Structure 1
Amino acid sequence: MKQARVLTDQEFKRLLAVVAQGKHAGRNRLALMLSHFAGLRVGEIAALAVQDVLDSDGKVREQIRLRAEITKGGDARVVFVGEKLRREIERHRAEWPQERPAAAPLLLTQKQTAFSANTLCQLMAQLYGQAGLDGASSHSGRRWFITRLAHSGVSPKVIMTLAGHKNLTTTQRYIDVRDEMMKAAVELL
């Protein structure tokens, strides 16, 4: 089975520019950022509630605790919120016309209901398509996250834990390798 395309920096910027021009730009941008900057699966993103990302004072949490029932492997895990993602969550929250209950979905459809994993998957495919990114899918952000961590020298064990994988071989399959990366590696010698 062919893997989802990992975007280059330029392609990621193009995607965000296309999203900015569309309807529901803030919501769609946050969905993509949760995928790219937290490595979340589309089903995990769709299942997030306001209380998962905001504390009782309305501040963005430093960690998102994914409940076992929303993860693929059925094991709860912690996702750390970096500065870029924190700013994105704050930006999205500022767009809300009114406060949302803690148990409300973080991302709402145009009918103001929770996304299903399938519907969010279709939305992401549509966004990638509008940006002209053939081969990209809802899993592209997750692969981008894992690849970027690996190429930044992060320990494989840390990446595996952040991704919620039980086996390192699973994590390794996500890492994208390109010619320029191999050339740069050889130049280190």
Structure 2
Amino acid sequence: MLKINVRKYTAYTKTLHLEQMMAQAKTLSKTELRRVLDVTKACSKYAERDCVMLLLTHWCGMRVGEVASLRISDVIDTEGNIRAELHLSAEQTKGKAARIVFVPERMRKELKRYLQLTTKPKCGDFLFKTQKAQRFSPNTATQHLRRLYTNAGINGATSHSGRRTFITELAAKGVSVRVLSALAGHKSIQTTQRYIDVNDDMMRKAIELL
């Protein structure tokens, strides 16, 4: 008779359910992302912080837990320059496997601006802090980003929407699924494929390739 480890099976099913929920998070158009940023800048007391947290998920494909785990030393080098590559330790990632996050130039500019506005930042400090000057936990960061989307009237968006939008946009531009999988830090391309949201514009462009 087949024996099942109930604890491991329950953990597996919870992980699978979570991945499915994340893969189904709404993808945003550029107009919708601009709306979220504009509303955040107009309404948030900590607008610079909130916009940078959002953009790290949209422009770098970072998980919200990875964003919450960042320290200032992760994003600036010994000369005070913004790093083009963020080296995340196994403790900072969901899969408990170290990975590299590539930072585009426009994101580096946003990070530089944010750090210039931060009061006497110390390398060992967490990059993002709550109103009470505490670090964000993955859960509080998840709730916070969801509120930013809700405030902007973006229905169906979650803290994972940025990551899914990142993958979908690059797929639409012809980036191979293997490269996407590496950028996302996925262990298999099957996981990455579930994140790609096929839309009408992608299909219109596809048929023009014939």
Structure 2 length-normalised TM:
0.87
Q: Which residue of 2 aligns with 1:105?
A: 126
Q: Which residue of 2 aligns with 1:67?
A: 89
Q: Which residue of 2 aligns with 1:39?
A: 61
Q: Considering only CA atoms, is the larger Rg found in Structure 1 or Structure 2?
A: 2
> What is the alpha-carbon distance in structure 2 between the residues aligned to residue 136 and residue 164 of structure 1?
21
The offset of 1:73, in angstroms, is 0.7
> What is the alpha-carbon distance in structure 2 between the residues aligned to residue 110 and residue 94 of structure 1?
18
User: Structure 2: which 5+ runs fail to align?
Assistant: 1-19
- Matched to 2:207, the amino acid is V
The offset of 1:36, in angstroms, is 0.6
Q: Tell me the secondary structure at the aligned position of residue 13 of structure 1.
A: helix
Larger mean Cα displacement after TM superposition, 82-91 or 151-160: 151-160
Asked if 1:148 corresponds to 2:158, the answer is: no
The one of 104, 116, 120 aligned to 1:94: 116
The one of 33, 43, 50 aligned to 2:72: 50
- Matched to 1:72, the amino acid is K
* Percent of pairs with identical residues: 48
- Matched to 1:9, the amino acid is K
Structural RMSD (CA) = 1.0
Q: Tell me the secondary structure at the aligned position of residue 114 of structure 2.
A: helix
User: Structure 1: which 5+ runs fail to align?
Assistant: none
- Matched to 1:43, the amino acid is G
- Matched to 2:167, the amino acid is I
> What is the alpha-carbon distance in structure 1 between the residues aligned to residue 134 and residue 90 of structure 2?
22
Count residues with an aligned counterpart.
Answer: 188
Residue deviations 1:79-118 (CA, integer Å, cap 9, x gap): 11101110110110111122x2211000111111110011
Q: Which residue of 2 aligns with 1:177?
A: 198
- Matched to 1:97, the amino acid is T
The one of 34, 51, 54 aligned to 1:13: 34
> What is the alpha-carbon distance in structure 2 between the residues aligned to residue 94 and residue 52 of structure 1?
16
Q: Tell me the secondary structure at the aligned position of residue 44 of structure 1.
A: helix
Asked if 1:81 corresponds to 2:103, the answer is: yes
Asked if 1:115 corresponds to 2:149, the answer is: no
- Matched to 2:97, the amino acid is D
Q: Which residue of 1 aligns with 2:3?
A: none
Superposed structure 1 runs of 4+ greater than 3 Å apart = none
